[in-house]
Amino acid sequence: MKKYLPLLLGIFVLYGFPIPASPRPAPLKIVTSIFPLREFAKEIAADRGEVSLLLPPGAGVHTWQPRASDILRLSSADLFIQVGAGLEPWIHDLLKSISSPRLRVLAVADSLPLDEHWDEEDRKKEPDPHVWLDFGLDMVIADLIAAKLTEIDPLSASFFQAGAARLKQKLQKLDAAYSQGLGRCASKSLVIGGHAAFGYLAKRYGLEQLSLSGLSPDAEPLPSRLMSAIAWGKEHKVRAVFTEANANPQMAGVLAKELRAEVLVLHPGGNLNKKEWESGRSFFDIMEENLVNLKRGLSCE
C-alpha cells in the first residue's frame, strides 16, 4: 500500500477529491429574525438555501411575540440567524422551547467589532442593536453568514464565499453612494421623530442623531424629551424631521411644526409592511430611498 501512496495522491491532485455520485442535498432551511438578514442570507446561499423571515409583515422586531407555529418552523430549520445585542427580546423564550438537534443559531452581533464603534460614554449605555444600518458591519455579517453556512455544508464553501463576495460588492457600492451623497451637507443634524435606530448610520457618515424615543420604540416620548428636541433643533437650524416608515408620524409632525421643518421618511429596514412585501422592495431599494431623503433633509450638495 505504502508504495502506491504517491500514486494515489497524484490521482487526487489530478482529479480532485472524488465527487459524490448522489444528487445535491435539499437546500438548507434558513430562518432569519429581520429583513436585512434574510436579504443577505438569500444572496449568499442562493439556490442552496431556502430563506424565510420569522417576523410577519408589519411586525416590529422590538415588540413582536412569537406564535406556536413559529416554534414548529424553527424546529425544522437548519439555521436561524438573528442580530442579538438585545434586538429580539423574545428570542430567549422562543429558543428555549425548541429542542431540535439540527438547528444552529447565529447571533451576528456577538462576532462584530462593535467596541471600535463606540467610545467609553456609549458603552456605558445599553448596546445599540441596529447594526445593519452600518454598511461596513454588513460586510462583516456577510462573511459570518458564509462561514456558518460552510460549517453546515462544507462542500459548498466556495459557493457561499462567492455569494458573500457578491453581496459585499453591492454593499461597497451603497456605502460609496452614501459617503459621496452625504459628504457635503449644510446640516449634520439627524432629527428622528421616532426611536434611535440610525446611530450607526449617523456615526459612519459623520452625522449626529437626536431621537424622540430611545433604542427601542417607547410608547410615547416624554414631554421633556420633546422640549429638548425643539431647543436642539432650533439651535442647529434643523430643516427636516425624519419620521420612521411604518411608525406613527404624529410626534414627528409636532416637532416639525415647532421647528418649521419638513417631515421626511426614513426606513429602518428591519421589516416590511404588507404593501412593501408585495412591491418586491429589496434592502438596497430601501437604503437608496433613505439616501434621497437624507440628502434633501440635510441640504446636501
- Catalog residues that contact Zn ion under the rule CB under 5 A: 197
CB nearest Zn ion: which residue?
197
Burial class (CB in 10 A: 0-12, 13-18, 19+), 58: middle
Q: Which is nearer to Zn ion, 225 or 236 (CB)?
A: 225
Residue 156 or 246 having the CB closest to Zn ion: 246
* Nearest approach, Cβ of residue 134 and Zn ion (Å): 14
Classify 191 as helix, strand or coil: strand
C-alpha cell at 164: 458573500
Question: Of 181 and 269, which has the nearer Cβ to Zn ion?
Answer: 269
Cβ contact 103:168 at 8 Å? no
CB closer to Zn ion out of 44 and 287: 287
CB 19 to Zn ion: min, Å: 46
For residue 28, what are the β-bridge partners?
A: 49
What is the Rg, in whole angstroms, of the alpha carbon atoms belonging to the chain? 23
CB 196 to Zn ion: min, Å: 8
Q: Return the SS3 of 82.
A: strand
Q: Minimum CB separation from Zn ion for residue 283, in Å?
A: 15
Residue 59's Cβ-side half-sphere holds a number of Cα atoms within 13 Å equal to 17
Nearer to Zn ion, 163 or 270 (CB): 270
- In angstroms, give the least distance from the CB of 55 to Zn ion: 12
Beta bridge partners of 105: 80
164 Cβ contact list (under 8 Å, min separation 6): 44, 142, 143, 145, 146
Compute the least distance from the CB of residue 197 to Zn ion, in Å.
4
286 and 264 Cβ atoms separated by less than 8 Å: no
Q: Which is nearer to Zn ion, 25 or 214 (CB)?
A: 214
